[in-house]
Amino acid sequence: MLLDHQSGAVLYQHNADERVEPASMAKLATVALTLDLVRRGALGLDDTMVISEHAWRTGGAPARGTTMFAELGSEVSVDDLLHSAIIQSGNDATIALAEGIAGSETAFAGLMNQFGAEIGLTNSHFTNPSGLPDPEMYTTARDLAYLARYIIREFPEYYPVFSAEAFEWNGIFQRNRNDLLGQVGIDGLKTGSTGSVGNGVVVSTTEGGRRLVGVVHGLATAQQRTDEVRRLITWGATSFDRIPAFSDGTIIGHASVYGGAVSQVGLVGASGVDIFLPKNNRQCLRGNISYQAPLLPPVRAGDQIAYLNIFCDDQQIQSVPLYAATDIEAGGIFRRATDALWELAFGWLPF
């Protein structure tokens, strides 16, 4: 999966909705949820969490996995636990966060799933905060890309932690486990690997003058992961011309509203729409707007209800989310009856 961060436009996808184990990339959801709690004032970065025996045995030194080597019974600040989760991929750190916030990993996983649904992760299910193998836990490349985009957009003041070269805790110095940092402009986010699913990574880069978010997963070796990411990012950064198409607030099209006070709602981009066309091939452009009909009221301004699909030589090269420009309330009895008769006579035909 490769998308443009600013617009959310999908530049490339292959099996992007195939369910896979997230491995340590699940820690991105733990980090996002924790930072959201901090933003809302429910948690402080200086608050401390206790390293329980479960966190120590399951995610600490005895487990022989990625760990911050926190001592049993010690108290660690939320900020340090977040740094460890991001930089060291500390399993003990994420378990301590889960237990401190929700009381147990299971309860925290429930919060992760609720939070994921709220931010648009439609095909993910988390059962623990660290990504340790569990057959009931899954995500997709698309959801991981959307999760990364959420973190970059919502927590810009904390995002630099993802590019930190190392983190030292309790006298133990560990380098960032993301070995792709600095390559083709990559400044985050998270690697993950297990014996059953292979090697994956969620990356972001400003290579080529715009921020891209990419995900690859299921590679047999870490070197293959590196090679695949370099190819994906290099292609995305060098193969497109950016063409401003619609300014912020411009109505791009309309979607029909069945039984609404008015029959259509205008569609806009999140902050204007840029189209990325393959270099030296501007004559190939074709586009359409798609949405799930019938669209029922009430519709709220800002609801994501459609996509602008861009094609070049009959191959889709971009998909841009479109949002309702205005509120549409339910229509009166006469309006609803008219639409019902139309549907009975002709079926649902967007107009």
- How many other β-carbons are positioned within 10 Å of the β-carbon of residue 262? 13
Please tell me whether residues 105 and 217 are part of one structural domain. Answer: yes
24 is catalytic: yes
CA distance 160 to 42: 23
Q: What CA–CA distance (Å, rounded) separates 141 from 15?
A: 8
Last residue of a domain, one of 186, 210, 238: 238
For the cut 90, the answer to whether the pLDDT of residue 316 exceeds it is no
Q: What are phi and psi of 254, to 5 degrees?
A: -135, 150
Cα–Cα distance for residue pair 111/255, rounded to 1 Å: 34
Q: Are residues 29 and 58 in the same domain?
A: yes
Helix (H) or strand (E) holding 4: strand 2-4
CATH number for the domain that contains residue 195:
3.40.710.10
The confidence band for 167, taking pLDDT boundaries of 50, 70 and 90, is very high
pLDDT at 340: 60
For the cut 70, the answer to whether the pLDDT of residue 250 exceeds it is: yes
Give a yes or no: residue 351 inside a domain: no
- Average of per-residue pLDDT values in the chain: 91
Q: From the CB of residue 350, how many other CB atoms can be counted at a distance below 10 Å?
A: 14
Of 144-148, 212-216, 277-281, minimum mean pLDDT range: 277-281
Residue 330 forms part of a structural domain: yes
State phi, psi for 65 to the nearest 5 degrees: -110, -165
Percentage with pLDDT > 70 across the chain: 94
Please say if 193 is a catalytic residue: no
In-domain check, residue 319 = yes
Tell me the per-residue pLDDT of 11-41, one tens digit each, with 9 for 90 and over. 899 999 999 999 999 999 999 999 999 999 9
Are 140 and 286 in a shared domain?
no
Residues 34 and 11: their CA atoms lie apart, in Å, by 30
234 with 265, same domain?
Answer: no
Please compute the mean of the pLDDT values over residues 258-279 and round it to a whole number. Answer: 88
Q: Band the pLDDT of 350: cuts 50, 70, 90.
A: very low
Same domain, 210 and 316: no
- Residue 17 in domain: yes
Structural contact between residues 192 and 216, judged by C-beta atoms closer than 8 angstroms: no
Domain membership of residue 323 (yes or no) is: yes
Q: Both tokens of residue 320?
A: 């841009």
Q: Is the pLDDT of residue 342 over 80?
A: no
Listed residue (251, 238, 321, 320) closest to 279, CA to CA: 238
- Helix, strand and coil percent figures for the chain, each rounded to 5: 35, 30, 35
Mean pLDDT over residues 290-305, rounded?
A: 93
Is 63 within a domain?
yes
Q: pLDDT at residue 168 above 90? A: yes
Average pLDDT over residues 51-59: 96
Q: How many domains does the structure of the chain reveal?
A: 2
Question: Do 101 and 177 share a domain, yes or no?
Answer: yes
Closest CA to 24 of 106, 91, 80: 91
| Residues 14 and 152 occupy one common structural domain | yes
Residue 262 and residue 116 share a domain: no
- What is the model's pLDDT at position 85? 98
Out of 27, 84, 124, 193, the active site residue is: 27
Q: What is the pLDDT of residue 210?
A: 86
Q: Looking at the structure, do residues 253 and 234 belong to the same domain, yes or no?
A: no
**174 lies in some domain:** yes
Catalytic residue among 89, 124, 193, 204: 89
Phi, psi of 117 (to 5 degrees): -65, -40
Weakest mean pLDDT among 69-73, 88-92, 222-226, 347-351: 347-351
Structure tokens at 180: 């792709």
Structure-token pair, residue 240: 């497109």
Is the predicted pLDDT of residue 233 greater than 70, yes or no?
yes
The whole-number pLDDT of residue 306 equals 95
Domain co-membership, 228 together with 249: no
Mean pLDDT for the stretch of residues 71-85: 97
**Contact by Cβ (8 Å): 225, 200:** yes
Torsion of CA 94, 98, 101, 104, to 10 degrees: -160
Domain edge (last residue) among 238, 261, 285: 238
* β-strand pairing of 166-169 with 186-194: unpaired
Write out the residue range of the structural domain in which residue 44 sits: 2-238
pLDDT at 195: 80
Q: Are residues 34 and 126 in the same domain?
A: yes
Q: Kindly write down the DSSP assignment for every residue of 228-296, as one continuous string.
A: HHHHHHHHHHHSEEEEEEE-TT---EEEEBTTBSSSEEEEE-SS-EEEEEETT-GGGEEEEEE--SSB-
CATH number at residue 269: 2.60.410.10
Whether 307 is in a domain gets the answer yes
DSSP lists the bridge partners of residue 28 as none
On whether both 161 and 229 belong to a single domain, the answer is: yes
Residue at which a domain ends, from 219, 238, 257: 238
